[in-house]
Structure 1
Amino acid sequence: MVIEYVGQSIRQEIADMRERRYEQEGIGSSYLFRVDQDTIIDATKCGNLARFINHSCNPNCYAKVITVEAKKKIVIYSRQQIGINEEITYDYKFPIEDEKIPCLCGAENCRGTLN
C-alpha cells in the first residue's frame, strides 16, 4: 500500500455540480475519483497527496477500491519496488469518450489519450 485517496464522498449529481462550479471559479484541475456507480471522492479542496499522482500508460502503481468497516475506500498500491525520487504513477482508466484528453506520459506503450 502506498497511500489512500481521500476526500469528500459525494453522489454523481453533486460531482457534476461541483465540476461546473470549479470551472466557473477558475480552478484549473478538479480531483474527482469514481468509487462506483453512485459514489465519487472529491479531493479538490480537501484531499491528500494522492490527488497529485500522475497518470501513466506504464504505471508503477494501481488503484483499487476496498471495503473497510462497510465503507468503500480507494487505495493506491505499488506494482513493484519504487526507488527514491521515482515518480509514483497509475493508469487513470478514464471512460472512453468522444472528446479525447491527450496523454503526455512518455511511456513506450503510450495510448496517446487518457480516455
Structure 2
Amino acid sequence: MVIEYVGQIIRQVIADMREQRYEEEGIGSSYLFRVDQDTIIDATKCGNLARFINHSCNPNCYAKIISVESQKKIVIYSRQPISVNKEITYDYKFPIEETKIPCLCGADSCRGSLN
C-alpha cells in the first residue's frame, strides 16, 4: 500500500454540479475519483497527496477499491519496488469517450489518450 485517496464522499449529482462550478471558478483541475455508480471521492479542496499522482500508460502502481467496515475506499498499491525520487503513477482508466484527453505520460507503450 502506498496511500489512500481521500476527500469528500459525494453522489454523482453533486459531483456534476461541483465539476461545473470548479470550471466556472477557474479551478484548473478537479480531483474527482469514481468509487462506484453512485459514489465519487472529491479531493479537489480537501484531499491528500494522492490527488497529485499522475497517470501513466505504463504505471508503477494501481488503484483498488476496498471495503473497510462496509465503507468503500480507494487505495493506491505498488506494482513493484519504487526507488527514491521515482515518480509514483497509475493508470486513470477513464471511460472511453468521443472527445479524447491527450496523454502526455511519455511511456513507450502510451495509448495517446487518457480515455
TM-score by length of 2: 1.00
The separation in 2 between residues aligned to 1:101 and 1:44, in whole angstroms, is: 19
- Quote the residue 2:26 is aligned against: 26
- Quote the residue 1:84 is aligned against: 84
Does 1:66 pair with 2:66?
yes
Offset of residue 53 of structure 1: 0.1
Offset of residue 72 of structure 1: 0.1
- Quote the residue 1:49 is aligned against: 49
1:50 match: secondary structure: helix
Offset of residue 94 of structure 1: 0.1
Offset of residue 57 of structure 1: 0.2
Offset of residue 10 of structure 1: 0.4
Offset of residue 97 of structure 1: 0.3
The separation in 2 between residues aligned to 1:99 and 1:40, in whole angstroms, is: 22
- Quote the residue 2:7 is aligned against: 7
Q: Report % sequence identity.
A: 85
The separation in 2 between residues aligned to 1:69 and 1:26, in whole angstroms, is: 37
Residues 47-105 of structure 1 show CA distances to partners (whole Å, capped at 9, x for unaligned) of 00000000000000000000001100000000000000000000000000000000000
The separation in 1 between residues aligned to 2:16 and 2:95, in whole angstroms, is: 16
The separation in 2 between residues aligned to 1:71 and 1:79, in whole angstroms, is: 24
1:24 match: secondary structure: helix
Structure 2 unaligned residues grouped into runs of 5+: none
Residues 13-65 of structure 1 show CA distances to partners (whole Å, capped at 9, x for unaligned) of 00000000000000000000000000000000000000000000000000000
How many residues get paired? 115
The separation in 1 between residues aligned to 2:12 and 2:99, in whole angstroms, is: 20
Structure 1 runs, 4 residues or longer, greater than 4 Å off: none
TM-score by length of 1: 1.00
The separation in 1 between residues aligned to 2:11 and 2:98, in whole angstroms, is: 24
Q: Name the Cα RMSD after superposition.
A: 0.2
